[in-house]
Structure 1
């Protein structure tokens, strides 16, 4: 275990500092401010009244796994057996299980730079070696097949839509990466947590191109249930028993009340409203900031803008601290997400209503003048 290599979340330091200012504007928080469907609240209340406080089986309750399988059939046209779905405590639990299933001590895990910092931190915890591959605006932050061919990784992890950039992988790119991984016995791990929050075109799942991909998703973002700590992992059929054993030892089972509440999370009409609210916020914030900072493309999914602030600074971390202290506007420094030019970037989350976003934009524009 190489915990000495792990990095702290700078964003959490920003969150703590921003809490000191009652009038702070929050662009740093990577969680939805919207409530889940009222049906979720009703299901949660019923679960409490029904005394649902015991463990479930380690894979999770069958009814919810069936609902997730049906969701994949309706959304992507893929058939997933419910027994291949493991419910986990957030997607963090899913990452740990996926890495334990696919990698041994010292194996290499392919990651893009920038990417979500927990990937590498989990790798270091498990004495796995992350191999970083730089991605940038030239290819819309997508990993290329040529880059993958130059590595000797045992598993590859991508995220689509991605945190922090908001890009999605095209079906063609997903297919060629998966085809290569299949032919070279490389496990393909796809973080699809922001699926559903895709605004101008549909996102493809890795399962459309690789029936044995390890696919991670959860209820924190699109379903607006971050504090319920519930994710899922889809594993190959021949890995189900092994995944179950790992889950039994790491966390026994995902939170029971959350599982019963999530039975009502697939409320399509409500979820469409959620998506449209985030689309409106994206459009507003992009239009307001694209001429203030350098924003390389309009984000395709998730709820983040990846803004190049190098016209004002060569250290976005110091810039973020100064912006917070002087005008009480909080954003996440790019160095949270890697080393590939990230010191020039800030991540702005559009996870508050437009009135809140507008106030933040006005403060930034006045401050920079």
Structure 2
């Protein structure tokens, strides 16, 4: 199994002083104060015991209400399974597949999860500036499962309602399972997006509380599975999870604080706009539609993204993720705008000075 390189970068960066961390996909903002209060209450009430394998019914009902509020989609709480982060959700979802096809660049762990379960993994190339799959070319590939990520990590690409509807229809008409990674939903800087469940009731949808809800360390996520797979998914959860962390589940009950969450989205949008303007003259960058990353083409400076990021860290004290972590992208780096604008401004100045010296 390949290493998750960003975690190695983070480890090295934490050993140095005065580093600006733009490598890890972790929001620096706190969750709603209501989350902390709910966690404190759970501690006081001694909620240290397992829940059922699918998770607290009260939390599953909250998630179902979220889909109605956000997307006008009805979800039965019985179809929701609370997971430990989204990683275990992917492990459960991949059980139902033999060959998984997904656009690249993409989240590195997808391929590692597939390898862990001895599944075939097909990478569908995409290109600047949209980084979207071409539906008309899907028949070139032999797969039973199509997995998409919208917004995408690392590019920030989203599939519009029209795009998503077409993908969903393709999967239904061709008997393909669709897995939709929607972890960065909420952090989308347009109104033209929705959940795959809007157009495909047989899709598996995966989301969690780490990004938009600013709760990465609580390791809590969810998946929504179609009726035909609910019992099998529950059995897998019983075996690999027992249950997701109980305290985290109680905390997540109060995560749907939409007034607070709107300020989270606004802050990340400001950061995106600021850092894009600061860096767009240094690198070719497709302005992201969502998430909190810039996917930067460094081919003018280097053809070795790992070496570039190591030097950037050691010399300029800016931590970034090498593109090779996301596949065969040795002339790209990913920069996370997960620090305040003052820190982003300092990081941009450091990068500009660094690049002057390596031209």
> Please, what TM-score do these two structures have when normalized by structure 1?
0.95
Give distance in 2, aligned partners of 1:38 and 1:283: 27
- Structure 1 residues 51-62: aligned runs within 5 Å: 51-62=46-57
> How far is 1:51 from its partner?
0.6
Given the alignment of the two structures, is residue 28 of structure 1 paired with residue 17 of structure 2, yes or no? no
Given the alignment of the two structures, is residue 230 of structure 1 paired with residue 220 of structure 2, yes or no? yes
Deviations 1:337-368 (A, max 9, x none): 011xx111110000011111111111111122
Structure 1: state its 5+ residue gaps: 1-5
Deviations 1:241-289 (A, max 9, x none): 1111110011101110000110000001100011111111111100000
Equivalent residue, structure 1, for 2:33: 38
Deviations 1:158-206 (A, max 9, x none): 1000000001011122111111111121100000000000113342211
| Contact 1:144 1:173 (8 Å CA) reproduced | no
The equivalent position to 1:124 in structure 2, one of 70, 90, 115, is 115
Equivalent residue, structure 2, for 1:350: 337
- Structure 1 residues 108-257: aligned runs within 5 Å: 108-137=99-128, 140-257=130-247
The equivalent position to 2:306 in structure 1, one of 287, 305, 317, is 317
Give the alignment's Cα RMSD to 1 decimal: 0.9
Deviations 1:23-61 (A, max 9, x none): 011110110011100000000000011110000000111
| Contact 1:48 1:257 (8 Å CA) reproduced | yes
> How far is 1:145 from its partner?
1.0
The equivalent position to 1:338 in structure 2, one of 307, 324, 327, is 327
Equivalent residue, structure 1, for 2:70: 75
> Please, what TM-score do these two structures have when normalized by structure 2?
0.98
Give distance in 1, aligned partners of 2:109 and 2:353: 35
Tell me the SS of whatever aligns to 1:130: strand
> How far is 1:147 from its partner?
2.5
Q: Which moved more, 1:199-208 or 1:189-198?
A: 199-208
> How far is 1:237 from its partner?
1.3
**Structure 1: 4+ residue segments shifted above 3 A:** none
Equivalent residue, structure 2, for 1:363: 350
| Contact 2:296 2:334 (8 Å CA) reproduced | yes
| Contact 2:161 2:192 (8 Å CA) reproduced | no
Equivalent residue, structure 2, for 1:272: 262
Tell me the SS of whatever aligns to 2:330: helix
Structure 2: state its 5+ residue gaps: none
Matched residue pairs, number?
A: 356
> How far is 1:13 from its partner?
1.5
| Contact 2:150 2:181 (8 Å CA) reproduced | yes
Give distance in 2, aligned partners of 1:256 and 1:40: 14
